[in-house]
A and B are shown apart, each in its own frame.
Chain A
């Protein structure tokens, strides 16, 4: 039971697709992992809080340079804006204090979340921009941030997108800023000498996708409640692998998980807007 009667009103609101995304990701994260979320990634922000508060007392959370464990706290507010460095209030250490990128050999235990202006069928992602002439892009993206290095080294990462459209899911990225599975070869990363495990799932407001084992091609894994296969196909700019038979529905959070999500992981309601 909640102490706060207002919580009951909040819990009565319908579950949003962003909350479904966050709950799915939280359920895939295991205790003891180190979770790093970059700026302006609300689904990832909430997912790691939800996992930490529900089943991850030994997780370490890293938000734009602040590393923390706050399992003893009731809540950890989500940032008010992308580069809200007030997360330093909860930090146990700052990994930007002059030794960034100095101990990357243990990043195999680290989990990361990555976005993209474009995503191709093999999980390669692009934050550089759109257009054939790099000196005159049609759309100049924000830049690769730390994604080329993180995607190279972390144990696994999730591709998390705020929208699912044929403009984003393209047959081939104009530029690749984070290498997923290359041309669709399960050995591609090993051959390039990339120690990290690569992208595991791609999660969008419509569905969850994984990668086929043999060709590392995006495959529909589950549909969020109310979404059809046709809607996903129509909004994906390449042929998605659709497994035979009924596609499962991405589970919605159970009441206890929803309570933690809304009253502790996302008190501010970042995913209910």
Chain B
């Protein structure tokens, strides 16, 4: 007689990306879960609302996947003050910017995680945020009578994160702590898939259960170098020259109106490589080894 077997949760990056359909709300963690993001570009997903930040978000905008951003900071990544595709699309009105701030986003994600319609937040009182984002409502606190901001729940269909390790059952162990708002994103999302540098044995996880940062995610993606060109704590540093190439191409598209270099970049690194492994072959083993320190 055979035992019933515990179900493993290993999925490919393409399978995880297939959880997303046009018009959904996705969240992308820090560092960027780039193996999945490239698959989303490759599939040509449209009209996404993206809770995210930085150059990873910018790439999705450049590829035309995004209708709305929930981003408190879209910095330039490689020297510029503002990421180029985000800046152009926002100025042109091609994307809707749900104007927000880090504490406000955290409150909205927490509300979603707790199944609440909103949570109150103080940060942002007196600012323009409730004026330019009508979803943020000024409210009178019924307990003490203070004026606060009601932040609506930021409900996420799928969250994608990148971490150092997980076992096949979705027990995630980070090195150097979960990124930024990652745990908020996980908690707010209906489903969550985590790319990992290495899949550990269940015994290795059990050896140190206190190190488990997220228990039981829905999908574990085997993705060594999966955050490239960003860093992965414990494994590799940021590939700044590669990021620079993207930023330069996107800046040419945004400021000179020439999408040639950007389309070449997207085709070469996101669309033509079918799998994460195909992408890594294009980046090249020498380049990857040069980054392999932390």
Residues of A near any B CB (own CB < 8 A): 39-40, 65, 81-86, 88, 94, 96-98, 100-101, 104, 126, 128-129, 134-153, 175-179, 182, 188-189, 192-195
Closest 4 CB pairs of A and B: A149-B123, A149-B103, A179-B126, A98-B183
Could you mark each residue 50-87 of chain B with 1 if its beta carbon is under 8 Å from any beta carbon of chain A, else 0? 00001000000000000000011111111101110011
* Residue B124, interface by CB 8 Å: yes
Are B75 and A142 in contact, CB atoms less than 8 angstroms apart? yes
- Asked if B177 and A188 make an inter-chain contact with CB atoms under 8 angstroms apart, the answer reads no
Known contacts A148-B103, A177-B101, A193-B122: does B74 contact A143 (CB below 8 Å)?
A: yes
- Known contacts being A101-B106, A142-B73, is A152 close to B123, with CB within 8 Å? yes
B117-132 contacts to A, CB under 8 A, are 121-129, 132
B135 CB–A CB distance under 8 Å: no
A-B contact count, CB below 8 Å? 160
- Residues of chain A within 8 A (CB-CB) of B102 are 100-101, 144-146, 149
- Is residue B93 contacting chain A, with contact meaning CB distance below 8 A? yes
Q: How far is the CA of A107 from the CA of B132 in the complex (A)?
A: 27
Q: Are A134 and B101 in contact (CB under 8 A)?
A: no
Q: Provide the residues of chain B in CB contact with A135, threshold 8 Å.
A: 93, 96
Docked pose: A136 CA to B132 CA in angstroms: 12
Say whether B237 contacts A188, CB under 8 Å: no
CB of A143 within 8 A of CB of B106, answer: no
User: What is the distance, in angstroms, from B40's C-beta to the closest C-beta of chain A?
Assistant: 22
Tell whether A140 pairs with B91 under 8 Å between CB atoms, given A85-B231, A175-B128, A177-B101.
Answer: yes
Digitize B84-107: 1 where CB-to-A-CB distance is under 8 Å, 0 elsewhere: 001100111100110111111011
B interface residues, how many (CB within 8 angstroms): 57
Does B255 touch A at the CB level, under 8 Å?
no
Q: Is the beta-carbon distance between B127 and A96 smaller than 8 angstroms? A: no
Contact A128 B123 (CB under 8 A): no
Inter-subunit contact A176/B103 (CB<8 Å)? no
CB-contact partner of A128 in B79, B128, B184, under 8 A: B128
A40–B75 CB distance below 8 A: yes
Measured between C-beta atoms, what is the minimum distance from A258 to chain B in Å?
28
**C-alpha gap A73/B122 in the complex (Å):** 38
Q: Is the Cβ of B91 less than 8 Å from the Cβ of A193?
A: no
Chain A residues within an 8 Å CB radius of B76: 82, 142
Any chain A CB within 8 A of the CB of B203?
Answer: no
Give, as a whole number of angstroms, the nearest-CB distance from B27 to chain A. Answer: 15
User: In the complex, A85 Cα to B178 Cα: how many Å?
Assistant: 12
Check A97–B213 contact: CB distance below 8 A: yes
Distance in angstroms between the alpha carbons of A138 and B87 in the assembled complex: 10
Q: Which residues of B contact A65 (CB under 8 A)?
A: 177, 180
Whether A148 and B127, one on each chain, are in contact in the complex, defined by CB atoms closer than 8 angstroms, is: yes
Q: How would you classify the secondary structure of chain A's contact residues: helix, strand, loop or mixed?
A: loop
A-facing residues in B223-244 (Cβ within 8 Å)? 231, 233, 237-238, 240
Contact B178 A98, beta carbon cutoff 8 Å: yes
A227 to B135, CA, bound (A): 46
The residue that A148 contacts in the complex, of B82, B86, B104, B181, with Cβ under 8 A, is B104
CB neighbours of B183 from chain A (8 A)? 97-98
Q: Are A145 and B72 in contact (CB under 8 A)?
A: yes
Task: Name the distance in Å between B197's Cβ and chain A's nearest Cβ.
Answer: 15
Q: Could you tell me the distance between the alpha carbons of A148 and B121 in the complex, rounded to whole angstroms?
A: 11
A181–B293 CA distance with the chains assembled, in angstroms: 46
Query: Are the CB atoms of B176 and A153 closer together than 8 Å?
Result: no
B123 — which chain A residues lie within 8 A by C-beta?
Answer: 146, 148-153
Q: Which residues from chain B contact A85 at a C-beta distance below 8 Å? A: 176, 231, 233
Can you list 25 A-B contacts with CB-CB less than 8 angstroms, sorted by A residue number? Answer: A81-B238, A84-B238, A88-B176, A94-B177, A96-B177, A96-B178, A100-B180, A101-B106, A126-B128, A134-B99, A140-B91, A141-B81, A141-B82, A142-B73, A142-B75, A142-B82, A143-B71, A143-B73, A144-B72, A144-B99, A145-B101, A146-B103, A152-B125, A179-B125, A192-B125
B292 → A minimal CB distance (Å):
14
Q: Tell me whether A82 and B177 are in contact in the complex, defined as CB-CB below 8 angstroms, given that A140-B87, A149-B124 are known contacts.
A: no
Q: How far is the CA of A147 from the CA of B126 in the complex (A)?
A: 13
CB proximity of A237 to chain B, nearest CB, Å: 19
- Kindly list 4 other residue pairs between chains A and B, CB separation below 8 angstroms, not including A100-B181, A101-B106: A83-B238, A86-B231, A128-B99, A146-B101
A179 to B122, CA, bound (A): 12
Bound-state Cα–Cα, A104 to B107, Å: 13
Evaluate contact between A144 and B101: CB separation under 8 angstroms. Answer: yes
Q: How far is the CA of A138 from the CA of B82 in the complex (A)?
A: 13
CB contacts (< 8 Å) of B73 on chain A: these are: 142-145
Q: Is the CB of B122 within 8 A of A153?
A: yes
Question: Within the assembled complex, what's the spacing in Å between the Cα atoms of A134 and B130?
Answer: 12
Question: A179 vs B124: C-alpha distance in the bound complex, in angstroms?
Answer: 8
Contacts of B103 in A (CB 8 A): 101, 104, 146, 148-150
Among A94, A101, A135, A148, residue most surrounded by chain B Cβ atoms (within 10 Å) = A148
Instruction: Output the least CB separation between A235 and chain B (Å).
Output: 19
| Contact indicator B176/A94 (Cβ below 8 Å) | yes
Q: How far is the CA of A146 from the CA of B103 in the complex (A)?
A: 6
Query: How far is B97's CA from A165's CA once the two chains are assembled, in angstroms?
Result: 28
> Roughly how many angstroms separate A243 CA and B91 CA in the complex, as a whole number?
41
Chain B residues within an 8 Å CB radius of A147: 101
